[in-house]
Amino acid sequence: MLSEKMQAALNAQVNMEFNAFYTYLSMSAHFENQGFRGFAAWLRHHATEENGHAMKLYDYLNERRGKVTLKALGDPPTEWADTVSVFEDALKHEQKVTASINRLVDLAYEERDHATASFLQWFVDEQVEEEAIVDAVLNDLRRVGDFGPGLFMLDNQLGAQTPAEAATGDAT
């Protein structure tokens, strides 16, 4: 059985992951509007991953006979000055999620809730990967700057790396 405190903390994380979904989708919409279909597809795919993270927590709460309590999502950002700013925001967002996951793990250990600590290990590993992939894109973008052909190449590259369903608009 989950403690009340752990249940509330896991529900807050569900909300954070759905907010991440919304934020990445908004970033994707921004790039669609600008004609960068590769960046748009990549971020849309990332948004579906965030939805998956939220649902993984949702399922765990139910599995432990906790109660899922969904809360409102905030308005995501919709405007960015340039391409680099979008990915800088994405990296900041991932760092916030990582800090939140780490606090959840700390709580699980404090409460000697070993099942939750074990469950959360997947998220700890996932965050290492998530920060690394966003950071890699950001490094490439910083190198390219505003150089049009470079941005065109990176856009194509990210589009090619993205599973087809995100690029064709059939992502679920």
Q: Where are the alpha helices (DSSP H) in 78-147?
A: 83-110, 114-144
Q: Is the distance from CB of 8 to CB of 16 less than 8 angstroms?
A: no
Element containing residue 31 per DSSP (H, E): helix 4-34
The residue with its CB nearest to ligand FEO is 53
Task: Give 55-86 as a DSSP string.
Answer: HHHHHHHHHTT------PPPPPP---SSHHHH
Helix axes 148-161, 114-144, angle to 10 degrees: 150
User: Which one among 17, 22, 26, 108 touches ligand FEO, defined by CB under 6 A?
Assistant: 17
Single-letter code of the amino acid located at 75: D
Q: State yes or no: residue 130 binds ligand FEO (CB under 6 A).
A: yes
User: Is residue 53 classed exposed, middle or buried when 0-12, 13-18 and 19+ CB atoms within 10 A define those classes?
Assistant: buried
CB of 145 to ligand FEO, least distance (A): 26
Cβ-based nearer residue to ligand FEO, 105 or 153: 105
CA gap 142, 85 in Å, rounded: 10
Count residues contacting ligand FEO (CB under 6 A)? Answer: 7
Q: Identify the residue among 2, 36, 94, 151 touching ligand FEO (CB under 6 A).
A: 94
Q: Rounded to the nearest whole angstrom, what is the least distance from the CB of residue 121 to ligand FEO in the complex?
A: 14
Instruction: Write out the binding residues for ligand FEO, residues 109-128 only, by CB under 6 A.
Output: none
Residue from 25, 97, 166, 167 touching ligand FEO (CB under 6 A): that is 97
The distance of closest approach from Cβ of residue 96 to ligand FEO in the complex, given in angstroms and rounded to an integer, is 9
Out of 20, 43, 61, 120, the residue judged to bind ligand FEO by CB under 6 A? 20
Residue 53 beta carbon to ligand FEO: minimum distance, rounded to whole angstroms: 4
Residue at 61: amino acid letter: L
Interface positions, 33-92, toward ligand FEO (CB under 6 A)? 50, 53
Q: Which chain residues interact with ligand FEO by CB under 6 A? A: 17, 20, 50, 53, 94, 97, 130
